[in-house]
Structure 1
Amino acid sequence: MNSAVLVAAGRGTRMGGQVDKLWLELAGRPVLAHTWAVFDRLPEVEEVVIVTRLERMEDVAELARRYGLGKPYRVVAGGARRQDSVRNGLAAVDPRAELVAVQDAARPCTHPELIRACYEAARRTGAAVAARPMTDTIKESEDGRFVKRTLDRTRLWAVQTPQTFRVEVLRRALEEVERRGVEITDDTAACELIGQPVELVVHPAPNPKLTRPEDVPYLEWLLGRMQARAGAASGGAAS
């Protein structure tokens, strides 16, 4: 059984002002509804757990009703840190679940084939992460003003979500994070603490995250294009 945990408990402070980025409407729907719909439509996913802020739990249930998100789901409250929210989400997955994908709810354009590939890699390896090789030249700076050195970009990867795991692997990794009292912003970092190999999964489709106001136009355009393609495909199937 495959589960998905959508992490939607953050405040999105880099968006500025009072903007709640996951509830910002892009291409006719809140960002969270777009992300949820990708997993709701995917046959490989058998349940979805939404981790959100306590005051948004009823709003999440309303999203499911409004947009016909019919796959079994649970809504749980997030924690103070991302790792706490992931732990809460993991505790809520079905006991029969073998694999779990952890997804940033602020990534509404993740391609279904990337999600499938991450599940397959996690089944093989125990842990997998959506990733892209770095193409820019990367500099290290100690003070944010001056370059200290140039890093070898051929060995560097930018990781995204989904980050997918065998359930027992992620549970053990998060227990180690708690035991050591460290803070992580990436779930595969927990795997590094227990020596768990993490497979890199690459897919050519864009998988951007809504982080800053300047991300909005690109994401809205991309979501609109995805909707147009889905509509054309369904129309072609009907004819």
Structure 2
Amino acid sequence: MNSVILVAAGRSTRMGGQGDKLWLSLAGRPVIAHVWERFDRCPLVDEIVLVTRPETQPRFLQLAQEIRTTKPFRFAPGGPRRQDSVWNGLQAVAPEADLVAVQDAARPCTPPDLIRACYEAARRTGAAVAAQPVTDTIKESLDGRFVTRTLDRARLWAVQTPQAFQTSILRRALHEAQRRGLEITDDTAACELIGQPVELVVHPAPNPKLTRPEDLPFLEWLLRQTGVAPNP
């Protein structure tokens, strides 16, 4: 059995006062509708856990009717940090779930083939992450004003979601992060704490995340390219 945790409890602090970015209109529907539907239609997904703020749950229930979800879903409460939200979602996953994926609810263009590939890699390796090789030259700065050094981009990868895991491995990894009192922004970082190999899953299609208002036109353009959004 395979589960997915949709992390949808953020506060959208970088959206310039436009409100919760998950409910902004993208190709005529809320951003979260695109994300939820992609996982709901994925044959490998058996259940969906939505990590949300309690006050938004009625909107999610209404959306489930509008997009006619087919997979069982349940809610888990968001936590003060992303890793706390993922941990709460993990507690709501069915006990018989062998694999669990974690997906940013603000990443609406994730290709179905990438979702499938991440689950398959997690079954092989134990943990997997959608990733792209870094193409820009990356500089490190210790003070935020001046360059300290240049990093070797040939060894650098930008990781995204989905991130998929054998459920017992993710549980053990997040527990170790908690035990050490560490704050992580990425669940595969917790795997590094327990020595768990993480397989990089590369896909040629863009998989951007909605972070700022200026991201919306690009996301809508991408959806049009895949036939999800109508051409203007």
Output the TM-score relative to the length of structure 1.
Answer: 0.94
**Equivalent residue number for residue 28 of structure 2:** 28
Q: Does the residue aligned with 1:106 lie in a helix, a strand or coil?
A: coil
Task: Give the stretch that moved more between structures: 213-222 or 168-177.
Answer: 213-222
**Equivalent residue number for residue 73 of structure 2:** 73
Matches within 5 A, 1:68-217: 68-217=68-217
Q: Does the residue aligned with 1:146 lie in a helix, a strand or coil?
A: coil
Partner Cα distance (1:200, 1:125) in 2: 10
Matches within 5 A, 1:42-57: 42-57=42-57
Q: Is the 8 A contact 1:57 1:77 kept in 2?
A: no
Q: Which runs of 5+ in 2 are unaligned?
A: none
**Equivalent residue number for residue 237 of structure 1:** none
Partner Cα distance (1:106, 1:86) in 2: 15
Partner Cα distance (1:96, 1:192) in 2: 25
**Equivalent residue number for residue 8 of structure 2:** 8
Partner Cα distance (1:96, 1:203) in 2: 29
Task: Report the CA distance shift for 1:195/1:62 in structure 2 as closer, same or farther (over 3 A).
Answer: same
Shift of 1:152: 0.3
Task: Report the CA distance shift for 1:173/1:18 in structure 2 as closer, same or farther (over 3 A).
Answer: same
**Deviation digits for residues 194-227 of structure 1 (CA, Å, limit 9, x no counterpart):** 1110000000011000001110110112123323
Q: Is the 8 A contact 1:131 1:157 kept in 2?
A: yes
**Deviation digits for residues 150-175 of structure 1 (CA, Å, limit 9, x no counterpart):** 10000000000000000000000011
Shift of 1:228: 4.8
Task: Give the stretch that moved more between structures: 10-19 or 128-137.
Answer: 10-19
Q: Which amino acid aligns with 1:187?
A: D
Output the TM-score relative to the length of structure 2.
Answer: 0.96
Identity %: 73
Q: Is the 8 A contact 1:57 1:76 kept in 2?
A: no
Shift of 1:111: 0.3
Q: Does the residue aligned with 1:51 lie in a helix, a strand or coil?
A: strand
Partner Cα distance (1:15, 1:197) in 2: 35
Larger helix proportion of the pair:
1
CA-based RMSD of the aligned residues comes to 1.2
